Amino acid sequence: MSYQTDNIFARILRGELPCVKVYEDAHTIAFMDIMPQAEGHLLVIPREGAASLLDLSAEAARETIVVVQKLARAAKQAFDAPGIQVVQMNGSAAGQTVFHCHFHVIPRQEDAPLRA
């Protein structure tokens, strides 16, 4: 999948669009989803410009999944969530709408309906 540098997450990475940033390091940033499916829904993205996970370098994939795990643990504690959903779409047929690779981290409560 070809990478378009004007996608929303690329613009967030360049500081052209605002976000509620919750984490950043040399390889990744994480910020709150603008339309959360549950309280605490955040997105983890690599800084590398890749349209999907299938296009991402192995090194960036490793760096990103470690941050996903770290923030999933933090969100579980922060939101006292019995479950954490990690969701990742590749291609419009799979439901991807922003074509910069990203992972959803979504705290889930026992009594709340799943919408993802």
Known catalytic residues are 102
d(C-alpha 51, C-alpha 65), whole Å: 16
Contact with ligand 5GP (CB under 6 A) among 26, 35, 58, 93: 35
Token output for 76: 């579980």
CB of 65 vs ligand 5GP, minimal distance in Å:
16
Q: Which of residues 63-102 bind ligand 5GP (CB under 6 A)?
A: 89, 95-98
Enumerate the β-bridge partners of residue 106. 85
CB of 73 vs ligand 5GP, minimal distance in Å:
21
Q: Which string of DSSP letters, residue by residue, matches 28-59?
A: EEEEE-SS-SSTT-EEEEESS--SSGGGS-HH
Residues near ligand 5GP (CB under 6 A) are 8, 17, 19, 31-35, 89, 95-98
